[in-house]
């Protein structure tokens, strides 16, 4: 009983899921944790999230989880399938793993942390994973990253005449032309704007060029007024 409660806590298993049994296979160096769920009236369709009736269960699947000390740890469960009026029969989203993976999300997170610090070959050896498994884990991480990016605030933005409207929390810097309406607008919409406004290189160079031209034109006028046309023309 105690080991089941321990594993439920370690795995973060929440109702309706529970740990049914824990088998320690000493010879193989493996721990097998069997999960089951309480009777549930409705399951969410993975496509639209609407509450659906249980259709049936898939045959038992297993997922590799983080090791328990020196033991490889496997989760086992029969994934339920929901019956959605719109999307038909679908395997529900399980709280511990992505649909296409044979690893739990925590195991994949660990592998990704290792991959940041070591080569694919080293991580494959350390975690006893094949090349295909390493690549599968990396592909899913990239996919998750791309999906997260769609919802994230962009820390740096540039603004121009098309301006901007909303969603400016979390901005770290705003690149712009040196123009009062831009500066005032950023001050009105962005927290601590004074520290975040940067003038972009293109516009700084453009202003510099215009200023030099203006000075030259001014000098030419003075030279012409003095009657020194020959010198003015060369400038």
Binding site for Zn ion (CB under 5 A): 45, 47-48, 84, 86-87
Q: How far is the CB of 193 from Zn ion (least distance, A)?
A: 45
Q: How far is the CB of 87 from Zn ion (least distance, A)?
A: 4
Q: What SS3 string covers 56-116?
A: EECCCEEEEEEEECCEEEEEEECCEEEEECCCEEEECCCCCCCCCCCECHHHHHHHHHHHH
**60, 98 Cβ separation under 8 angstroms:** no
Q: How far is the CB of 47 from Zn ion (least distance, A)?
A: 4
Q: Of 86 and 100, which CB lies nearer to Zn ion in the complex structure? A: 86
List CB contacts of 234: < 8 A, sequence separation 6 or more: none
Q: How far is the CB of 39 from Zn ion (least distance, A)?
A: 21
Longest CA–CA separation in the chain, Å? 105
Q: How far is the CB of 37 from Zn ion (least distance, A)?
A: 20
Q: Of 49 and 209, which CB lies nearer to Zn ion in the complex structure? A: 49
Q: Of 45 and 168, which CB lies nearer to Zn ion in the complex structure? A: 45
Nearest to 203 by CA among 161, 154, 171: 161
Q: Of 50 and 119, which CB lies nearer to Zn ion in the complex structure? A: 50
CA distance 87 to 15: 25
Q: Of 48 and 222, which CB lies nearer to Zn ion in the complex structure? A: 48
Q: Of 47 and 113, which CB lies nearer to Zn ion in the complex structure? A: 47
- On the question of a cis peptide bond just before residue 16, with omega within 30 degrees of 0, the verdict is yes
Q: How far is the CB of 50 from Zn ion (least distance, A)?
A: 5
**129, 111 Cβ separation under 8 angstroms:** yes
Q: Which two tokens stand for residue 93?
A: 């989203």
């Amino acid at each position: 009983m105690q080991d089941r409660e321990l594993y439920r806590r370690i795995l973060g298993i929440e109702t309706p899921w529970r740990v049914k049994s824990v088998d320690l296979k000493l010879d193989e160096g493996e721990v097998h944790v069997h999960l089951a769920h309480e009777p549930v009236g409705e399951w969410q369709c993975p496509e639209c999230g609407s509450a659906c009736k249980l259709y049936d269960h898939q045959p038992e699947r297993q997922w590799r989880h983080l090791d328990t000390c020196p033991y490889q740890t496997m989760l086992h469960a029969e994934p339920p399938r929901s019956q959605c009026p719109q999307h038909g029969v679908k395997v529900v989203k399980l709280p511990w793993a992505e649909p296409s993976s044979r690893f739990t999300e925590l195991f994949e997170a660990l592998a990704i942390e290792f991959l940041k610090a070591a080569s694919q070959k080293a991580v494959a050896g350390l975690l006893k994973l094949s090349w295909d498994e390493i690549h599968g884990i990396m592909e899913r991480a990239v996919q998750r990253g791309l999906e997260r990016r769609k919802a994230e605030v962009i820390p740096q933005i540039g603004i121009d005449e098309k301006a901007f409207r909303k969603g400016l929390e979390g901005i770290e810097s705003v690149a712009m032309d040196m123009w009062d309406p831009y500066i005032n607008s950023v001050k009105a919409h962005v927290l601590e704007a004074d520290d975040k406004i940067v003038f972009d290189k293109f516009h700084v160079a453009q202003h510099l060029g215009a200023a030099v031209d203006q000075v030259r034109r001014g000098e030419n006028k003075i030279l012409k007024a003095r009657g020194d046309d020959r010198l003015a023309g060369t400038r």
